[in-house]
A and B are shown apart, each in its own frame.
Chain A
Amino acid sequence: MKQPFAAPWFLLLPAALMALWHFAVDLRWVTEGIIPSPAQVLRSWETWIFGSAKASLSPYSGTWLDNVTYSTRRVLQGFGLAALVAIPLGLVIGWNRLVARLVDPSIQLLRPVPITAWLPFAIAVFGIYDASALFLIGLGAFYPIVVNTTHGVRDTNLLLLRAARMMGAGPGTVLARVVFPSALPSIFTGLRLGVGVAWTAVIVAEMIAVKSGLGYVLWDAYYVGRMDICVATMFSVGLLGFISDRVIVWASRLLLRWRSLEAHT
């Protein structure tokens, strides 16, 4: 039951953390001059977003939107590519025992290799270009999507498969009209996990493999001792990751309306 007046409880913890941060800097619990205060970060963030590139002395002034665009575009491309490959592959792996035996062990063997470990390989193969970043992001997002899709397919109720076959459905129809919708909730779980990994991967990739985007700014700011920009970047990534997750949840609610009905019974 929803309360008539819902207090914004979710703001309590962030407010407490901000206060702790503020006093830690203000009362010099942390080394002075290295960790910026919340107010400082906010000011720098503002200049970073709204400042004009010419009038300011800061090299970051007014470059926020450009870098956000770079990173977001890479995430969308890498994530989209991963989904495009991982969903059909997961459907086939879950559906066909032979394909599963052929492909699944390799995926499971490669999966524990962290994205960071792939960096040198990606740069060696693709160079300091966008392709390196897309490879890393795509690879990172690929695993959770393929694993969850496979799981969803294997979870399909046997009776539903029988019912479809009894009503004249061939393998193609069964896959498209029974297995796919039945696996869709799992696929969405995979997409949510995947987009999270994509944001992790884009930062890692931009730190080293390319010369633009939020990851690049983060590393660059660290090198020149601009912790305020580093922290503002962290907030930016957190915000973007949150928004992309909400978008997927919203899409899943739209497509899985039947599921919310089931939860109420």
Chain B
Amino acid sequence: MIEIAGVSKEFAKGERRVVALESIDLQVAPREFAAILGPSGCGKSTLLNMVAGFDRPTGGSVRVAGEEILAPSPRRAVVFQEPALFPWLTVFDNVVFGPKTQGRPSAEYRAHAAQIIEQVGLRGFEANYPAELSGGMRQRVGIARVLIMRPEVLLMDEPFGSLDAQTRSLMQELLLEVWERHHQTVLFVTHDIEEALLLADRVCVMTARPGRIKKSIAVGIPRPRSIEVTTTPEFNAQRREVLALIREESQRAAMETASR
């Protein structure tokens, strides 16, 4: 579904050229939930932006369903770290922004919106403005407005990163529930090991600058999952595995910095 082949990204920073990503190869199968796990500044968001079509790679290619990505599309919906809602629109109008823009008949998307608003637990808040909602509720709107577009691919850029721990686990459960229902292809960027293991079928561990994919680990925890699986021994074993990888990586990064 998503094919990232030999992708690199360089930025010009004044005189210097900074290599953000180097020869990234990554395939995400249809209906697969893949997580990219990496430290901040490793270029994981840059990678996601290229799949979304906000940014172009300087080398290699990004394809979705065989097509080279040149621009953003509702088929590849994005949930941002900041909810990025339109503050002048009500919850309902934020949710229906996509279908309205795409010219879907209002009778059809209105019913669909009501159903999705119910699904993400926002019923009764349709007429509220984003400023009147809590951080978690805003992100629910951010999820609802992409679900209504029935995207083939769901791109999530640390969507729960700015929420408090309790709200975060609630949102993770909500996402699991939603995904069990729709089974979209998901690319989920995070720096949180537990979050990656809880949600994904496969976790790709990224290295720090220049960003590369160090290892791709299949998550063997059976579905449907709930937040309780995080306490099982299997979960802990996988967590140790990923943790070792990351520790190795951060030690290497620290050594390199020291020897410079």
Contacts and interface: CB of A to CB of B under 8 A. Distances in A.
A166 B86 contact: no
Interface in A156-170: 157, 159-160, 162-169
Contact of B131 (A166, A167, A173, A261): A261
Contact size range, A:
20 to 34
Contacts of B80: 159, 162-163
B84 A159 contact: yes
A166 B129 contact: no
Interface stretch (B15-23, B71-79, B211-219): B71-79
Chain B residues touching A, majority SS:
loop
Residue from A168, A256, A264 whose CB has the most chain B CB atoms within 10 Å: A168
A265 B102 CA distance: 33
A264 B71 CA distance: 37
B6 interface: no
Interface string B95-121: 001100110000000000000000000
Nearest to A264: B131
B192 interface: no
A215 B130 CA distance: 48
A152 to B, nearest CB: 13
Interface residues of B, number: 29
B74 A261 contact: no
A257 to B, nearest CB: 8
B149 A167 contact: yes
Contact of B74 (A168, A257, A264, A265): A168
Given A166-B52, A173-B101, A262 B87 contact: yes
B9 to A, nearest CB: 17
A159 B132 contact: no
B101 A169 contact: yes
A107 to B, nearest CB: 28
A261 B85 CA distance: 15
Contacts of B25: none
Contacts of B101: 164, 167-169, 173, 177
B145 A258 contact: no
B82 interface: yes
Contacts of A159: 80, 82, 84
Contacts of A92: none
A157 B146 CA distance: 19
Interface in A111-165: 157, 159-160, 162-165
Given A162-B72, A166-B78, A168-B102, A261 B129 contact: yes
B82 A258 contact: no
Interface of A: 157, 159-160, 162-169, 173, 177-178, 181-182, 184, 256-259, 261-262, 264-265
Q: Nearest 8 A-B pairs (CB), nearest first?
A: A167-B98, A159-B84, A261-B131, A168-B74, A262-B131, A165-B72, A166-B72, A163-B84
Given A159-B84, A168-B73, 15 more contacts: A163-B80, A166-B52, A166-B72, A166-B73, A166-B77, A167-B77, A167-B98, A167-B145, A167-B149, A169-B101, A177-B101, A182-B88, A258-B129, A261-B131, A264-B131
